[in-house]
Amino acid sequence: MLCPRPQGKGSILHLAIYYYGCIWLVLIEVESNIQDYTLLVHWLNRLYCRQEIAQLELGNHLRVEKLVEDSQDTRTMDRFKLIKEVGDGTFGSVWRAINKQNSEVVAVKKMKKKYYSFEECMSLREVKSLRRMNHPNIVKLKEVVRENDILYFIMEYMECNLYQLMKDRVKPFPESEVRNWCFQIFQALAYMHQRGYFHRDLKPENLLVSKDVIKLADFGLAREVSSVPPYTEYVSTRWYRAPEVLLQSSVYDSAVDMWAMGAIMAELLTLHPLFPGTSEADEILKICNVIGSPDEQSWPEGLSLAATMKYKFPQIKGNQLSEVMKSASSEAIDLISSLCSWDPCKRPKAAEVLQHAFFQGCTYVPPPVRPKAGGLPKTPPCVGAKGISENSVARRFSTGTLSTMKSSASVKSNALSKTGVQRKLQMDRQAPLKSTRATDSSNPVLRHSRSLPETGRAMHKVSAITEKLSNMSVTSRTRTTVKPPAVMMKAGHGKSDFLGKSDEIPPAKRLTRKLVS
């Protein structure tokens, strides 16, 4: 409420003080209604601009830095020349582009959905999480631009993704190369997990490579660890999906990323997906075939989750990972087995993995707190014996989770609590979603082709889920071979799935799918 205006012959000074006070009151009132800085920027933007551009300064204190005024707005996306489409995911198409102003090569992700306000854009998970990340192994988000209701992410450009590298290969990657990549990715994961985020959609397509450097990308599903469960939306690509997610736990955590990394590591070492399930039920069966069925000892919470869903695990003893990955070192196998533990609590944390014997000789250098001016921090490579001697120095600056260089992955202490809340399933009738893959016009017949239809965050009616779940049962069957199929396979088929078809394992060739180039 404003005070009554001074009556009578007030001096000019009085009037000035009165109006000054009024302005302050109005501002205070407005401010109390403004939730955060982003909204304030948007509000100012509305006043002065027709379009918005936010240049994100990546670091500890992110802020919207620049508003484009009327005189400039038509130039917003004109600054970029799109050269070639390099990827087409569920949510956006990605282009290699050049910033005409400084000739920098960038990646422009053009979102498929329209965005009618800037707040909507700024509240996207991809923006919220990426803008808080500043790590040499996490793809940098440079700008967020909304123009004509279309949202663009301007990112640093990476040459290709891991899936593209795998599909063209005949011989598996040398273990040293896999070690180098994985070490970088685990550093990125340690960084983001320690900052309270987990990715939830790790897969080879989301690991981008430029020369020796690999980076995590696609934070569309990233979630804050502190966000409140239940997590009800659809999460992650089936082949890399953790069992607790398959069993519809709604309180999973960063351990889902560790499971995915186990599967990715194995795939890099063999060029074949470790758990190429054709449906959710088949996914569980494939997991049982490799690591054996869970029991009261290995994963009591899993049995409860299954019971809640009226799902019965097949009783399979499982194979030895060493049989599946004949040429892998014992350290690699040990690490993959611990990452692919049924019980999420038994999977090592990312920071612990960096201490695993598989990475002996690799140096962990924590990223700087603030980005250095004049360039990105360099990714620390595996540096052999020198690295070991440097490691003690590196650890001094770590967050304290790295205890000993020689210790293997230890057991996690946090437990997943179980819940009766059911997560939503992708159903048979769902229209197939676009696969997440890079556009590959040069290679129409992809040997290692895959479709990742379940990356979509499909939502389904709970009643339908309940019906499906109550029918669900994966019957025990004699061990199906876990030998890599003759052809490279694609992640999932969209043909869901879980229920009633558990023992119908389609032949490998059904898994092959041609890619749209």
Should residue 152 be labelled a site residue for ligand ATP when binding is judged by CB under 6 A? no
Percentages (nearest 5) of helix, strand, coil residues in the chain: 35, 15, 55
Q: Are strands 197-198 and 223-224 parallel, antiparallel or unpaired?
A: antiparallel
Cβ neighbours for 393, distance < 8 A, ≥ 6 positions apart: none
Catalytic residue among 36, 149, 201, 212: 201
110 marked as binding residue: yes
CA torsion 384→390→391→396, rounded to 10°? -170
**Closest CB 120 distance from ligand ATP, rounded Å:** 17
Burial 230-265, CB ≥16 within 10 A → b, else e: ebeebbbbbbbbbbbbbbbbbbbbbbbbbbbbbbbb
Tell which positions 281-300 bind ligand ATP, by CB under 6 A. Answer: none
Residue number with the smallest Cβ distance to ligand ATP: 87
Site string for ligand ATP, 110-139 (x = CB under 6 A): -----------------------------x
Would residue 201 show up in a list of annotated catalytic residues for this protein?
yes
Q: Which of 287, 438, 446, 515 binds ligand ATP (CB under 6 A)?
A: 438
Quick one: tokens of 429? 């009738």
Distance CA 87, CA 84 (A): 9
Should residue 380 be labelled a site residue for ligand ATP when binding is judged by CB under 6 A? no
Pick 108 or 351: Cβ nearer ligand ATP: 108
Distance CA 83, CA 95 (A): 7
Pick 130 or 499: Cβ nearer ligand ATP: 130
Taking contact as CB under 6 A, which single stretch among the options 203-211, 255-263, 392-400, 486-494 is the one that binds ligand ATP? 203-211
Greatest C-alpha distance within the chain = 99
On the question of a cis peptide bond just before residue 230, with omega within 30 degrees of 0, the verdict is yes
Contact in structure between 186 and 151 (CB atoms under 8 Å): no
Contact in structure between 201 and 220 (CB atoms under 8 Å): yes
Site string for ligand ATP, 207-246 (x = CB under 6 A): -x--------xx-x--------------------------
**Closest CB 158 distance from ligand ATP, rounded Å:** 4
Tell which positions 452-491 bind ligand ATP, by CB under 6 A. Answer: 455
Should residue 157 be labelled a site residue for ligand ATP when binding is judged by CB under 6 A? yes
Q: Which of 53, 54, 62, 89 binds ligand ATP (CB under 6 A)?
A: 89
Closest CA to 189 of 148, 147, 137: 137
Pick 5 or 169: Cβ nearer ligand ATP: 169
Pick 185 or 325: Cβ nearer ligand ATP: 185
Binding site membership for ATP: which residues?
110
Residues forming the active site: 201
Q: Contact residues for ligand ATP (CB under 6 A)?
A: 86-87, 89-92, 94, 107, 109, 139, 155-158, 161, 205-206, 208, 217-218, 220, 436, 438, 455
The binding site consists of 110
